Structure 1
C-alpha cells in the first residue's frame, strides 16, 4: 500500500514526540530528506531507541525514489479520474525527481553531530547555509495551465472548486477537499483509517510524552544541567532543550521576515548559537544528560508498554499488514 506524500502526518507527530530527549547537538531522533526532496520519518539511533519507539517505528512510512514515483502516479491517476467525472480535462503531472544535496549539517548522522568538534564548528546546525533541492526543470510546468487559461472566469472557478473543494474553516475532511481529497483518500485512506482506529493508544502515547519533562527525575537532571550552564554564564535556561529551542525559534522568525534571513543576521545569530551550543554540549556531557534522560524515558515507556501491550501489539499488526 503506497501513501500519498500529502497524507495527514498525525502519526508522525505522535511518534516523533515519543523521542523526548534532545541530543547534545540537536534532536536525538533525526529525520532525513530523500533524493526526491521528501522528508522521511524520524529515526532513532542505537543509543536513543526506547521501548515505545520499537512499537511505533513500524508505523513510519518510508520512501525511496521509486516508491515516491509510484505513489505520485497512483495519486495523479485518481485525480485524473475524479476531474474527468466532474466534466473537466486533466492531464496528470509528471513526477518531478530532485537533484542536489544539503549541507553537511543536514547529512551528518547523530553520532557525528554529537561531538564537541562538530558543535564547535556548527553549533546546533541551525544557521549554516543549506543547499536547496533543485527540481528537474523539465517537470516543473503544470500541463494543465493552457487548459485552465482557456476557461472563462466562471469555468475557471468551477475547475478549481472541483480540484480543491470549496474552502471553509470546517473543510477538514477529505470529502470537502475536492478531487485532491478524493485522490488522497484513494491512495492513503486505509492508512488514515488505521490512524483513527488506533487513535486512543496514539493519544495515550502523546500524553505520555507530554508528561516526561515533569517527571521528578528529569526535573532534578535539568536542575544539574542548569547549574552548570549558569556557571558558564547562561542563567536563563532551566531545561536542556531550551537553548536549542531558543535558537531555532529565533532562526525561524528571521526566515519568515519579508527579507528572509540576511547574511548579517545569520552571522550575528551564529555568533551566539555556537558558544551557547558548546556550553550546552559540555554541560550535558558533564551531567551525562543523554544517557540518564533516556534511562528515565525507558522506564516510563516500559510501564506504558506493560499497561498497553495488547493495544500496541494490535497497532503493530495492523500497520505491518498494510505495508
Structure 2
C-alpha cells in the first residue's frame, strides 16, 4: 500500500456543472478544441441536452474525469515546485480514475442488487489494495528520521509552538465527565470548564461533541491556511485559488449561477411533478404508501438497516448476517418496485423532456456567456 497518499482538489460540484463538464458519449482524453468532436455525428449531438451539445460543438467530448485530472496535475506541479524549493525531491503523483462500475441506475440492476445499500461487496474484501510504491514512497523510505520529520513539515506544515508543547491542551482521558455533569442530566455544563484567558478550549481531538455543543480545532493552531492544508499542500491550494479554472473564475460566476438556478427550477416542473405523482400512486399500489418523493423509497431500506444495527451488540465487529438478510430482501423488493414504477410513470422521459426544453431556452438567452465559458474550458484542457 502506498504510504504517500495522493491529495488533490475535489471538483465534484452542483448538478449543473456535472452536466456541463462531463459528456456521456465517449471517453476521449484529448477533446477536440473546436467544431464537432471526431466520431460524433450531428444526429448524436442533437440527442444530447442542449447545454452539453453546445459544449461538444466548442471543445469536443470531455470524459468524466477531465477536470479532476486537470486540477490534480496543477496541484501536484505546485507541490513539487514547493518541495524542491524546500530542498526535497518530489515527483508529481498521477491522477488515478475510479474503476468503471456497471450501470447501477436501472431496473435490471435493482432486481439483483437493490440500491446497493446492503448488497455492496468491496472487491478488495475490505482490505487496502496493494500497489507498487511510487517514486515518492521510495524517496521517503531513504530519508533519515531527522530528514523525514523535515520532509513532512515541508509537505504538511508545522504545528504552532503552543501545540507542540501541549500548552493549554486538555487530554480527554484526564476528564471525569461525570463530575462535569453536576446536575445528572447527561449534558456537560461548559461553565464548569476553565476556558482560559482567550475563552477558547483546545482539544487533542480534531472534533468532539459534548452534549449539544461541538468544538473544532482552529486551523491556525495547526499551521494550516484557509484551505485546511499546511506546508506545500497549502501553497498548492493557494496557487489553485489564485489561478482558478474557468468554473471557479469570477467572470463566469453569473452564467453558472443562472444555470444552477435553472436546474433547481426543474425540480418543480409540472410534467415532472405529474410523473412523480404517478410514481407515488404506483408505489402505493405495490404496498409502499405515504411516500412524498422518489427519494423516500430508499429511506424505507435505510430505516430497516438502522433498526437492524440497533440490535447489534456494542462489542460486535460486524452485523450478524441473519439480521441483515431480511433487510436485503426488503431492499431488493423496494428497489424493484421503485424502478418498475419509474418506468410505468414515465419519470425519466418527463425529466429528459423538461431538461431539454429548459436548456434550449437557456442556451438561446445566454449563448454568448456559455460560449465564452466553454472556450475558456477548452483552453484550460489544452494548457
Match of 2:184 in 1: none
**Alignment partner of 2:113 out of 103, 118, 122:** 122
**Alignment partner of 1:286 out of 344, 357, 368:** 344
8 Å CA contact 1:18, 1:206 repeated in 2:
no
Question: What pairs with 1:1-323 in structure 2 (closer than 5 Å)?
Answer: 6-9=8-11, 11=13, 14-16=16-18, 49-55=48-54, 63=65, 75-85=75-85, 88-92=86-90, 95=93, 107-109=101-103, 114=106, 116-126=107-117, 127-132=119-124, 134-139=129-134, 141=137, 143-144=139-140, 147=143, 149-150=145-146, 159=154, 162=157, 167-168=219-220, 171-173=225-227, 177-184=230-237, 190-192=243-245, 194-196=247-249, 197-244=251-298, 247=301, 262=319, 264=321, 267-323=325-381
> Match of 1:128, SS?
coil
> Match of 1:144, SS?
helix
8 Å CA contact 1:79, 1:179 repeated in 2:
yes
Where structure 2 has 5 or more consecutive residues not aligned to the other structure, the ranges are 1-5, 30-43, 161-217
TM-score, normalised to structure 2's length?
0.56
> Measured at CA, do residues 296 and 131 of structure 1 come closer, stay the same or move farther in structure 2, by a change above 3 Å?
same
- For structure 1, which segment, 7-16 or 214-223, has the greater mean C-alpha deviation from structure 2 after superposition? 7-16
TM-score, normalised to structure 1's length?
0.65
**CA-atom RMSD, angstroms?**
5.0
Cα distance between partner residues in 1 of 2:239 and 2:284: 55
> Match of 2:219, SS?
coil
> Match of 1:90, SS?
coil
> Measured at CA, do residues 145 and 236 of structure 1 come closer, stay the same or move farther in structure 2, by a change above 3 Å?
farther
Number of residue equivalences: 284
Cα distance between partner residues in 2 of 1:82 and 1:284: 52
Match of 1:39 in 2: none
> Measured at CA, do residues 214 and 13 of structure 1 come closer, stay the same or move farther in structure 2, by a change above 3 Å?
closer
Where structure 1 has 5 or more consecutive residues not aligned to the other structure, the ranges are 20-28, 35-44
8 Å CA contact 1:237, 1:243 repeated in 2:
yes
> Measured at CA, do residues 5 and 322 of structure 1 come closer, stay the same or move farther in structure 2, by a change above 3 Å?
farther
- For structure 1, which segment, 202-211 or 136-145, has the greater mean C-alpha deviation from structure 2 after superposition? 136-145
Match of 2:182 in 1: none
> Measured at CA, do residues 73 and 97 of structure 1 come closer, stay the same or move farther in structure 2, by a change above 3 Å?
closer
Cα distance between partner residues in 2 of 1:107 and 1:10: 18
> Match of 1:308, SS?
helix
> Measured at CA, do residues 63 and 232 of structure 1 come closer, stay the same or move farther in structure 2, by a change above 3 Å?
closer
8 Å CA contact 2:301, 2:331 repeated in 1:
yes
> Measured at CA, do residues 157 and 123 of structure 1 come closer, stay the same or move farther in structure 2, by a change above 3 Å?
closer
